[in-house]
């Protein structure tokens, strides 16, 4: 499994390329709760435990 720093960089690069009007779309469901690009960005930037779960889930889904 890739380190979280590398996954975070990959996510931030992908986020930067998502059109602004698409950032409110759901990209992942963690613990039965949906998260949009914007919510995921906030959690990942804050290095929260939820952000780590989001990154790991995105990797498992081969989005990252």
Residue in the block written with tokens 């498992």: 60
Report the Cα–Cα distance between both ends of the chain, in Å, rounded. 11
- Our separate counts of H helices and E strands in the chain read 3, 2
pLDDT interval class at 2 (50, 70, 90): low
Range of the domain at 26: 4-60
What is the model's pTM? 0.89
Tokens read off for 38: 């914007």
Number of domains in the chain: 1
How far apart are alpha carbons 17 and 47 in whole angstroms?
21
> How far out from the chain centre does Cα 56 lie?
9
pLDDT tens digit sequence for 4-62: 889 999 999 999 999 999 999 999 999 999 999 999 999 999 999 999 999 999 999 99
Q: How many CB atoms lie within 10 A of CB 32?
A: 5
């Amino acid at each position: 499994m890739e380190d979280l720093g590398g996954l975070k960089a990959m996510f931030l690069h992908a986020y930067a390329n998502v059109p602004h009007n698409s950032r409110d779309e759901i990209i992942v469901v963690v613990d039965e709760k949906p998260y949009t690009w914007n919510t995921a960005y906030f959690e990942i930037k804050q290095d929260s435990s939820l952000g780590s779960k989001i990154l790991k889930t995105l990797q498992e889904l081969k989005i990252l």
